Structure 1
Amino acid sequence: MLRRLQSLTSVVLSLCFVAAAHAQVATPPATAAAVGKGAGTTPTPREQRAIKAFNTARQSPLQLNAFLTRMPKGADLHMHLSGAIYAETLIKDAASDLLCVDLTTHTLVKPSGTTRSIPPQPVCGEGHARAEGAFKDQKLYDALVDSFSMRAFVPSSGVSGHDQFFATFDRFRTLNKSHAGEWLDEVATRAAAQNEQYLEVMETPIFTDLSKIVSTIDWPSTPADPAQNRTGNATGTSREDLSHLRETLLNAGLRDEVAVDRKELDNALDARDRIEDCGQPSAQPACSVKVRFLYQVLRAFPPQHVFAQTLLAFEVASVDPRVVGLNFVQPEDAYLSMSEYHRQMLMLDYLHSVYPKVHIALHAGEIAPGLVPPDGLRFHIREAVDLGHAERIGHGVDVMYENEPQALLKELADRHIMVEINLTSNDVILGVTAPWHPLPSYRAARVPIALSTDDEGVSRIDLTNEYTRAAMDFDLSYLDLKQSARTSLEHNFLPGPSLWQQPDVFTKTVAACAGQPLGSANPTPNCLSFLQSSEKAAEQWELEHRYDLFESNLN
């Protein structure tokens, strides 16, 4: 497997041993504008072998999962770091942090003190137990796994899958963020084992000082123009108001938080590299997985807090290339998420004008009938695109309930705005599965889509599970899944132009790389120069190389 290295030159040198005889000038079969089985150009002989092997495997979900584990998948563009960690790791880290467990709620809590013994032990008090006790008490261990995930969850009166899912995060949030490097290693190791090569990880930095700054600032009270208030509260969102608020926050020291957040990333990534021995002869396969970050903004807060977080996100992403964009998180159906949605999109509209190069992906439409009133389903995706400048939509489940859904689908397709599809998450949180899931509607409208995991630890899945589920529940073919992988890298937020001539059309490369085997270990000098100038294109070339190896070695 090709390792992620610092320069494409070294990548090429590392591939010299690969037999060039396997490489062929591929004519990729499917595009975002051509979906469904057999769509697009004629499959190559290599792809025909892969299709045959896939169709044989899909007769059994277990065989199909095994086949898809090895299949190159490109990127997972929608994953939250805290939600991607399995409960077993969280229990181990809780013991390391000397935390206690509330035995009623199975929530991690800080101890009332620690003993003077060597090593020190937590003092937990009545109704609490040491987290490390779970290793000697199977019932406690099982209860914590269930508390931190969707394992064994059964809905009951007043407690839905939605409630359980979002409650898990509060139960382990006491964990020290010093474990972030270990957590990055966990997700990268899992990704490498499934032939993934790139992750855009959503993470929320510490906001301690920022909260102190915002606590002294009120939201502007300027009334909104009625014309700007069609779908919600727009008070205080004039350009003048927001510009003044931005200057107030910057003058109060908001930029000091940029260095704090960057240091947090330094520590996490350095720890990950140490764990994986990256750059050493003993480097682990996880080192080959490139990791970048999306800055998480917590949307279920008052407007001045959300604006300050969003401003900080834009500031960090403007100076740190490891932070490739931002996203809004927390339940979209929460009171403040719903009541403030329109105003938050107006904030993004303004800040995008100040920081136009910062990428934006947004959770939008992660709601369903019954979860919110019908009016709440009418406008979230459209405003995310038209006001929030979203380049990718996370979930997009309510699209067919939005105003003029067919026009919205056409806009998404025409503007090449990709939708991140999270099938298991939509099932366990919203109760939305086939035939009520909009995946077929997106594909029929030629909207680019890519499969992703959302919170693979809480859901206890991986990306292969989502590929298998898409094939079994929605009848996606091998070529459809290959298209999803290509689409994931077409819409990542890495710098540089795409490998492909036209957006979401995977049939012709740019001129510099035309006329040679896709993913070749020995690209021409012109192509090599282009790939060295574009991180995005280099990852796309790597994916084609992986497909060459995968498809050439199938029986």
Structure 2
Amino acid sequence: MFYYFVAYLCLMIKQLALCALLCTPVCTAIAQTDQEKTTAYYNKLKASGDVARLAYFFSQMPKGGDLHHHYSGSVYLETYLDWCKDKGKYIDSFKYSIVDDTAADRISIDALRKNALHYRNLMSLWSTADFYNHSAPQVPPDQHFFNTFGFFSPISGNFKAGLAELKRRALQENVQYIETMLSSVSVSIKSTTYNASLYRHLATRDENGLTALFDSIRTSLAKIAIDTAVTNYISALRDARTGIDDGNFTMRYQTYANRLKDPSTVFISIYAAFCVAATDTNIVGVNFVGAENDPVSMKDFWLHMRMFRYFKSLPQFEKIHLALHAGELAPGMTRPEDMGYHIYESLTIAGAERIGHGVDLPYEDAQAILTHMAAKKNAIEINLTSNEFILGIKNERHPINMYHDGGVPLTISTDDAGVSRSSLTEQYIMLAERYTFTYPQIRSFVLNSIEHSFMNPYMKTHHKALLQRRFAAFEKMVAGMSK
């Protein structure tokens, strides 16, 4: 009897062990990771339409970097008014421009702030605030947007204070990297000598002759003037960026040329920008600014793209990163046929590694663009707020889903947060409200903002590790909230 009891007991132990073995994978599968719990919580917020909690979710979420960021358009007007007061400047009470204390019709900054009418008028001119709340005749939204820069530009060169403010705001909303378009390079050379020749090559599309002309222009430029401009720019940046970088935050800079100038001036500006980027490693890229639908922009686009290709072909500049505004166009802003090539040529002729905006994708050879960008891992910089205001493009009209489905790396950015009275947090809230992206997909967009930055490999590795740690802490917090 004892033998049978022992045999029965052994059989039961084996069965229990087998059950434990079989149950282990099931129990492991049931246990959710913090990321899975965060995904479930995000899905719950989306389904409930609880925008307030969604806003809190994104305010706490790590956001990595902001890659499409204009310095002067990102400082808020309240700060610009502080700077005006500090420098003894006043505001013209009719035009709302910055004036000296000797000007007629001046009003002090303190008096302006106490006068609700003047203050709101200034806010409506220096930013996009309340634009759609007015019924009086107004300039078009895109013109209004670009006009704002003319009001605060006389005071915006206070780079040291401005960069410090941008860093404080970035840290507050869990942003660890900004790649800002700081300013163009001020070159004393003012030459229109070559404009006739440039336009002749534009008319004939003589690319070989154009390259020879570019060589001639570049070698004829006063090297002393270029070197002086480069030295002054780097010196000003060195002073302004002191104390900005630390273990938790990094800022890098792009310089740029303005596409609205005559072609000789644009060529000189691009050359100076490349020289600066080749001299200082903190200047990580070159860009191109100005309204893309401007008549000068449209007329000279072919020349502009070949200028960038020319400078990228020079050995001393071949490693310079290039991010270009392209496709910031909507139907009606120009002729239909003029919307068919800006993104494509910015990529394939100029050699852009990232595209800013890219909104006119549906009106170009979208498949060729998506194939190129996916293969080259060229990222698209998505700017939802400014695309809506400047172009009137939002929701399903925006090609964000086309880029994503085409395998193009997406990054979410602010463009001009001060002008738009917005933030990177708001961009993610809009992304969640308007589109069906999952939390893992949104998480990947944040990771893209570091992966597709122009930081050097060492800094990129540092920020990838920092971002992963921040996501781990964030997801642990959300997992605790969702119990």
Measured against the shorter chain, the TM-score band is 0.7 to 0.9
Match of 1:379 in 2: 341
Q: C-alpha separation between the residues in 1 aligned to 2:217 and 2:224?
A: 11
Give, in whole Å, the separation in 2 of the partners of 1:373 and 1:105.
34
User: What corresponds to 1:429 in structure 2?
Assistant: 390
Larger Rg: 2
Aligned partners of 1:74 and 1:197 also within 8 Å: yes
Cross-structure match for 1:515: none
- Cα distance, 1:413–1:206 mapped onto 2, change above 3 Å: closer
Q: 2:219 aligns with which of 221, 228, 247?
A: 247
Letter in 2 for 1:260: N
- 2:279 aligned with 1:319: yes
CA contact (8 A) 2:202 2:302 kept: no
* Superposed CA offset, 1:520-539 (max 9, x none): xxxxxxxxxxxxxx221221
Aligned pairs for 1:121-520 within 5 A: 122-125=101-104, 127-154=105-132, 157=137, 159-175=139-155, 177=157, 179-205=158-184, 207=186, 210=187, 212-215=188-191, 217-219=193-195, 221=197, 223-224=200-201, 229=205, 238-251=210-223, 253-270=225-242, 273=243, 288-354=248-314, 355-402=317-364, 404-496=365-457
Partner of residue 55, structure 1: 43
Is the alpha carbon distance of 1:199 and 1:43 closer, same or farther for their aligned partners in structure 2, counting shifts above 3 Å?
A: farther
Give the aligned residue type for 2:181: M
State which drifts further: 213-222 or 88-97: 213-222
Tell me, in whole angstroms, the C-alpha distance in 2 between the residues paired with 1:261 and 1:95: 26
Equivalent in 72, 75, 83 of residue 93 of structure 1? 83
2:274 partner letter: F
In structure 2, relative to structure 1, the CA distance for the partners of 1:390 and 1:135 (3 Å cut) is: same
The alpha-carbon deviation at position 188 of structure 1 amounts to 1.2
Instruction: Give, in angstroms, the shift of residue 426 of structure 1.
Output: 0.2
1:420 Cα deviation after fit: 0.1
**1:172 & 1:158 partners in 2: Cα distance?**
20
* Alpha-carbon distance in 1 for matches of 2:283, 2:380: 20
Residue identity opposite 1:538 in structure 2: H
- Where does residue 108 of structure 1 map in the other structure? 98
Scaled by the length of structure 2, what TM-score is found? 0.87
What corresponds to 1:12 in structure 2? none
Counterpart-to-counterpart distance in 2, 1:452 and 1:361:
14
How far 1:194 moved relative to its partner? Answer: 1.4
Q: Deviations over 1:154-178 (max 9, x none)?
A: 276552221211111101112161x
Structure 1 alignment gaps of length 5 or more: 1-41, 112-121, 280-286, 497-533
One-letter amino acid of the counterpart of residue 433, structure 1: K
Which residue identity is paired with 2:474? F
CA distance in 2, matches of 1:43, 1:240: 67
Could you say which residue in structure 2 is the equivalent of 1:549? 473
For residues 181-211 of structure 1, give each alpha carbon's deviation from its aligned partner in whole angstroms, at most 9, with x where no partner exists. 111122111111111111000011451xx1x
Question: Measured at CA, do residues 439 and 361 of structure 1 come closer, stay the same or move farther in structure 2, by a change above 3 Å?
Answer: same
TM-score by length of 1: 0.76
State how far apart, in whole Å, the 1-side matches of 2:418 and 2:328 are.
19
Distance 1:199 1:432 in 2: 25
Quote the Cα distance in structure 2 between the aligned partners of 1:361 and 1:43.
44
The alpha-carbon distance between structure 1 residues 338 and 44, as it changes in their structure 2 partners (threshold 3 A), is farther
Counterparts of 2:140 and 2:192 in 1: how far apart (Å)?
A: 38
> What is the rounded CA distance, in whole Å, between the counterparts of 2:90 and 2:251 in structure 1?
32
Question: Which residue of structure 1 aligns with residue 22 of structure 2?
Answer: none
> Could you tell me whether the CA contact under 8 Å between 1:57 and 1:67 is conserved in 2?
no
- Identity between Structure 1 and Structure 2 (%): 31
Give runs of ≥4 in structure 1 deviating > 6 Å. Answer: 234-237
In the alignment, structure 1 residue 75 sits paired with structure 2 residue 60: no
Distance 1:190 1:97 in 2: 23
CA spacing shift, 1:469–1:43, aligned 2, 3 Å: farther
Deviations 1:334-389 (A, max 9, x none): 11111111100000000001110100000000011011111210100001001111
What's the CA shift for 1:332?
Answer: 0.8
After TM superposition, give the deviation of residue 449 of structure 1 in Å: 0.8
SS at match of 2:194: coil
Larger proportion of helix: 2
Query: What do you get for the CA RMSD once the two structures are aligned?
Result: 2.2
Instruction: Indicate the residue corresponding to 2:4 in structure 1.
Output: none
| C-alpha displacement of 1:220 | 6.2
Structure 2 letter corresponding to 1:353: S
Q: How many residues align?
A: 443
Q: Distance in 2 between matches of 1:43 and 1:190?
A: 37
Q: Distance in 2 between matches of 1:85 and 1:225?
A: 38
Change (3 A) 1:267 1:44: farther
Contact 1:258 1:316 in 2 (8 A): yes
What's the CA shift for 1:494?
0.9
Look up the SS of the partner of 2:322 in the other structure.
strand
Cα drift, residue 462 of structure 1: 0.5
Task: Provide structure 2 residue ranges, at least 5 long, that are not aligned to the other structure.
Answer: 1-29
- Helix, strand or coil at the partner of 1:435: helix
